[in-house]
Structure 1
Amino acid sequence: MKFGSGVSAGAAATAAPALNAAPAVSTEGQTRAAVVRLLLESGPVTAGEIGERLGLSAAGVRRHLDALIDAGDAVSNPAASWQHNGRGRPAKRFQLTADGRAKLNHAYDDLASAAMRQLREIGGDEAVRTFARRRIDAILGDLTIGAPQDDLPAAVGQVADALTRAGYAASTQKVGGSGGFLQGVQICQHHCPVSHVAAEFPELCEAEQQAFAAVLGTHVQRLATIANGDCACTTHVPLHSSPEHSSPDPSPLHSSPVPVPSPHRMSNE
């Protein structure tokens, strides 16, 4: 076999591994992206959970987490008491920081915020509220208004699915009250495509809460929002409408990677 430009077969064979190095770099980037996605959708999570779900070694997980922490994109926190199972020291849990979230699909935030300011200047607060309502209505447009109480958990799941299709990476979590009965379900939005805009225009979050209540046919309570700096937007949906069940007791029936803030009412997002 001939090689042009005076390159010998031996030299070409020696150079071959360098030509094959590019896929390794690509795989490294894809793995980092998978870790970021897992932190986004399921954080806070332990390093062990990341390794198990992505099929990575402990050293590999630590390398990616250290890089994300050094870049300011992730942070580690001690596990909450209800997140610790078994003996020994509770494992640290990792989640994205606000800076880490800001790098995910926020290229048009400044433009969107400027457009919202113009909308408010031209049409006033009501124009902003109307836009916010129409936006969430479009996301939940295929869902039936006013779900029956016996179908409420399934309806909450449909809301979460619709939000996920719109880029919110939503999930649901069952919440128990005293005595072990099922008291409610929480919608956890692990990502918000408009969180930076919503920080300036809370009407977007308020419209979401109102739309959830309309679709589900019951009062819902916003416990946390990414726009306010929380790690997820958490909305409590009670399964009982009587006053004695109106305040959520956020003790999960099952261990979950999603932290549940102490219940409190938020007048503004």
Structure 2
Amino acid sequence: MTSLQHPSTKEDILRYLLKQGEATAQVLADQLGVSSQAIRRHLKDLELDGLIEHRAIQEGMGRPNYVYQLSRKGRDHFPDQYDEFALSLLDTLAETVGQEQVGTILRKQWTRKAKDYRQQVGSGSLEERVSRLVELRKNEGYMAEWHRLEPEDQPGASPRFVIAEYNCAISHIAESFPTVCGHELEMFEVALPDCSVTRTHWLANGEHRCGYMIEPKQ
């Protein structure tokens, strides 16, 4: 494949698009410190490989600008611990015992995983526990990160945290069994029992990341 000729810059492009959702060639050049000419060559190669796609946006009377984003194949390029065998197994189970029974099995599996998260996250400040939870997600194939949100105009208020996941390690499973996304939200609530967890972004809704707001319970 042509994308193997310059793996570092091309990987940087793919990772940037994974995190930001989309970008123009000029933005990529500025952010990655690469010439516009070189970036356009890499983009052409990546598009030929089917890893990215573009759409044209018209700004003013000049030539249209092109905005690039990952294709489905591009998203599949990133680590995925839950492979096609897992999805095939679930499909077979659904055909054998029924969709409802598979849902019960998945809930039991995620309940077990939630308890494991709770144990590994342990105790400590909320910031420490959020950091440990994100590390666990990274080890499972998610491109996860967290941010602290300082309270505005509320002296003494507890900080909030946002967890962002740009790569879903169970995306193929979630497409066929969307209830697993709800189980993931429940896992975070079990891992952080003194917090409320709400979803802010969702890959399944076409957004470029999954996002969760972590807030201490009042």
* TM-score normalised according to structure 2 size: 0.71
Larger mean CA deviation between 37-46 and 152-161 belongs to: 37-46
- 1:163 matched to 2:137? The reply is yes
- 1:122 matched to 2:101? The reply is no
* Map 1:142-181 → 2, pairs under 5 A: 142-144=120-122, 151-175=125-149, 179=153
* Map 1:202-241 → 2, pairs under 5 A: 202-217=178-193, 218-239=195-216, 241=217
Alpha-carbon spacing, 1:219–1:38, altered in 2? closer, same or farther (3 Å): same
Q: Which string of whole-angstrom CA distances, capped at 9 and with x for unpartnered residues, describes residues 1-32 of structure 1?
A: xxxxxxxxxxxxxxxxxxxxxxx985424432
Q: Which string of whole-angstrom CA distances, capped at 9 and with x for unpartnered residues, describes residues 181-239 of structure 1?
A: 77521110110121121122123222221121122221100122223322111111124
The equivalent position to 1:198 in structure 2, one of 159, 174, 181, is 174
Tell me, in whole angstroms, the C-alpha distance in 2 between the residues paired with 1:184 and 1:95: 30
- 1:73 matched to 2:49? The reply is no
Alpha-carbon spacing, 1:186–1:117, altered in 2? closer, same or farther (3 Å): same
Larger mean CA deviation between 103-112 and 61-70 belongs to: 103-112
One-letter amino acid of the counterpart of residue 31, structure 1? T
Kindly state the Cα deviation for residue 40 of structure 1 after the two structures are TM-superposed: 2.4
Alpha-carbon spacing, 1:136–1:96, altered in 2? closer, same or farther (3 Å): farther
Kindly state the Cα deviation for residue 109 of structure 1 after the two structures are TM-superposed: 4.6
Alpha-carbon spacing, 1:143–1:46, altered in 2? closer, same or farther (3 Å): farther
Counterpart residue number, 1:34: 12
Alpha-carbon spacing, 1:116–1:92, altered in 2? closer, same or farther (3 Å): same
Kindly state the Cα deviation for residue 170 of structure 1 after the two structures are TM-superposed: 0.2
Tell me, in whole angstroms, the C-alpha distance in 2 between the residues paired with 1:40 and 1:25: 17
Tell me, in whole angstroms, the C-alpha distance in 2 between the residues paired with 1:97 and 1:26: 18
Q: Which of the two has higher C-alpha Rg?
A: 1
Higher fraction of strand: 2
Q: Which string of whole-angstrom CA distances, capped at 9 and with x for unpartnered residues, describes residues 35-70 of structure 1?
A: 213332455556566446644222222322344456
Aligned residues: 202
Kindly state the Cα deviation for residue 100 of structure 1 after the two structures are TM-superposed: 2.1
Alpha-carbon spacing, 1:187–1:60, altered in 2? closer, same or farther (3 Å): same
Kindly state the Cα deviation for residue 115 of structure 1 after the two structures are TM-superposed: 1.0
One-letter amino acid of the counterpart of residue 190, structure 1? Y
Alpha-carbon spacing, 1:51–1:109, altered in 2? closer, same or farther (3 Å): same
Q: Which string of whole-angstrom CA distances, capped at 9 and with x for unpartnered residues, describes residues 138-176 of structure 1?
A: 5665221xx56xx21222122111111111010112346
* TM-score normalised according to structure 1 size: 0.60
- For residue 163 of structure 2, give the secondary structure of its aligned residue in structure 1: strand
CA contact (8 A) 1:44 1:95 kept: yes
Alpha-carbon spacing, 1:110–1:38, altered in 2? closer, same or farther (3 Å): same
One-letter amino acid of the counterpart of residue 6, structure 2? E
- For residue 164 of structure 2, give the secondary structure of its aligned residue in structure 1: strand
- For residue 105 of structure 2, give the secondary structure of its aligned residue in structure 1: helix
Gaps of 5+ in 1: 1-23, 79-90, 243-269
- For residue 175 of structure 2, give the secondary structure of its aligned residue in structure 1: helix
